[in-house]
Structure 1
Amino acid sequence: MSRTPHFRVTPVAEDVHLVDAGSVNWILVGEGDALTLIDGGYPAHADAVEASIREIGRRPEDVAAVLVTHAHVDHIGSLGRFAARYGTPVHTGATETAHAHRDFLEQATPGQVLANVWRPRVLPWALHIVAAGALGAHRLEAATPFPVEGALDLPGRPVPVETPGHTSGHTCYHLPERGVLVTGDALGTGQPLTAFEGPQPLVSMFHHDRGRMMDSWSILAELDADHLLPGHGPAWRGTPRKAVEQARLNASRVW
């Protein structure tokens, strides 16, 4: 019996797919026979990442590069194996590269999780992420800074957008030719610890600097896109400006 975690692949725009693994997403962006992979879930999602690539008719060897929004374990957990197995380059910003190397760590601590375990939904979520391999340092030594500034010469022509706050080096990716904005954890549309969907911040314990993260929303609001693909929650159709407006209204609903 296969132990590959369940996932669902949803086409969103031209050769752009959101992969929902239940508690976290990753994104596949195609062009010709090549792919860009954005983020990669927990360590337990390593097989699912490869299976999701095959589900859209491509091979893991077709991934030209992996892009990282930020170096939390639920976004980089599978990528060390992927990079080692296929020799795939992994890129993020300079600050987040240092974070991926664990020169420093900006991530919710076990103590913060325990302090919130009385809240509804926290205990089941905590048990789930432990099973998914969340514990441990999870360095991603393969990560290197972007090779150039501006649009990257990768499938989808992704443009890195610095959005510090969730982590100091958090990066979103704008795909202007596809009308897509990949928001990572700078802006979600749902999460295991809240009871509603729609543009929203993640719960406070996940952010290195929540105020700075919300300030970064102003950067996103200026971008032109029709679809938002978050790290957590379903794809959302609408402009980044409208998403930011709704997220600001919903912020008071998120602890």
Structure 2
Amino acid sequence: MTPVDEVAPNVFCAAGTDVNVVILRDGDALTLIDGGYPGDVAAVEGAIRSLGHRPEDVQGMLLTHAHIDHMGAIVSFHERYGIPVFTDPTEVAHARREHLEQATAKDFLPMLHRHGVLPWLLRVARAGATRHLSVREPHAFPSEGPLDLPGAPVPVATHGHTSGHAAFHLPQHGVIVTGDALVTAHPLSKVRGPQLLPPVFDHGKTDTLAALDRLATLDARTLVPGHGPVLSVPISAAVDEARERAGGR
């Protein structure tokens, strides 16, 4: 079964193919945040079952953003079990694939000689990176306050990586699920620690930096990123480190 780490009481992080998924538990009910690649569906289901639950126990699913590496189990469970999917209002059209804000294979051709690019491309291709996925009926979550879902996550607009990217704050635990607004590692990066993703992945580079301002104001000391290991550090310090690494971006 997929290893699952409890990063705070009833807050679990599991790994897909170079990407993280998060499970929130409240009694017998679950919330799933992100879902890995299409090839990670079995791993996500295994993580849920390792907690003594079934996918049917998921009451709602949250997308930080509608990139293929976060949609796998979200789309599968939505179609198989009718579990509702929620995302930032701006991201709804992207989740439906009315438009696409995602790097394609041609964007990586000039980068094949760079650190980690070719092995990573082969690995994610096997995980379904070239598949076309869309969410049939995504719902826009309210812009303010905790959501009425297990774990009571609070959406935080962090637009930039995509037009409607969102993070999710768990203030009762001091946890922030940052998605791709702030990560701690990536196969295409030579460094570990708080950082932005390589620019090729971002839809709006100026907004990506501005999104860090929203994160820096939160009361959180546990950072659960979309990519890389969980990090115990005040989010303001993580933002400062990411900004320093970003340099002139």
Scaled by the length of structure 2, what TM-score is found?
A: 0.96
Partner of 1:206: 201
Q: How does 1:170-249 map to 2 (within 5 A)?
A: 170-249=165-244
The CA deviation string for residues 126-147 of structure 1, in whole angstroms up to 9 with x for no partner, is: 0111111011331121322116
Partner of 2:10: 15
Regions of 4+ moved over 3 Å: none
Q: Deviations over 1:103-145 (max 9, x none)?
A: 1110012111112111120000001111110113311213221
3-state secondary structure, aligned to 1:82? helix
CA contact (8 A) 2:17 2:127 kept: no
Which residue of structure 2 lines up, in the alignment, with residue 36 of structure 1?
Answer: 31
Counterpart contact for 2:17–2:36, Cα < 8 Å: no
1:164 aligns to what?
Answer: 159
Unaligned runs of 5+ in 1: 1-5
What secondary structure sits across from 2:14 in the alignment?
Answer: strand
Q: Which residue of 1 aligns with 2:22?
A: 27
Alpha-carbon contact 1:7-1:22 (below 8 Å) kept: no
Partner of 2:131: 136
Paired letter, 2:188? L
Count how many residue pairs are aligned between Structure 1 and Structure 2: 249
Say which is worse superposed, 190-199 or 33-42, in terms of deviation.
190-199
Q: In 2, are the aligned partners of 1:8 and 1:21 still within 8 Å (CA)?
A: no
Give the counterpart letter for 2:126 in structure 1: A
- Residue 87 (structure 1) aligned to one of 77, 82, 85: 82
Counterpart of 1:95 in 2: which secondary structure? helix
Q: Which residue identity is paired with 1:54?
A: R
Give the alignment partner of residue 105 of structure 1, picking from 73, 81, 100. 100
Q: 1:121 pairs with 116, 122, 129, which one?
A: 116
Q: Distance in 2 between matches of 1:172 and 1:148?
A: 12
Return 80-89 or 28-37, whichever deviates more.
80-89
Asked if the contact 1:112/1:205 (under 8 Å) is kept, the reply is: yes
Q: Once superposed, what is the RMSD of the aligned Cα atoms?
A: 1.6
Given that 1:172 and 1:181 are in contact with CA atoms closer than 8 Å, whether structure 2 keeps it comes out as: yes
Is this contact kept in 2: 1:92–1:145, CA < 8 A? yes
Question: Structure 1 residue 148: deviation in Å?
Answer: 7.0
Residue type matched to 2:233 in 1? Answer: G
Which residue is 2:65 aligned to?
A: 70
Percent identical among aligned pairs is 49
Pairing 1:150–2:145 present: yes
SS of alignment partner, residue 188 of structure 2: coil
**Residues 16 and 37 in structure 2, CA contact (< 8 A), matched pair in contact too:** no
Secondary structure class of the residue paired with 1:11: strand
Cα displacement (A) at 1:78? 2.6
CA gap of 1:210–1:148, structure 2 versus 1, over 3 A, is closer
Are the counterparts in 1 of residues 17 and 124 from structure 2 also a CA contact under 8 Å? no
Write the deviation string for residues 1-60 of structure 1: whole angstroms up to 9, x where unpaired: xxxxx7431110011011122410000011111111000000001111111001112211
Code of the aligned partner of 1:184: G
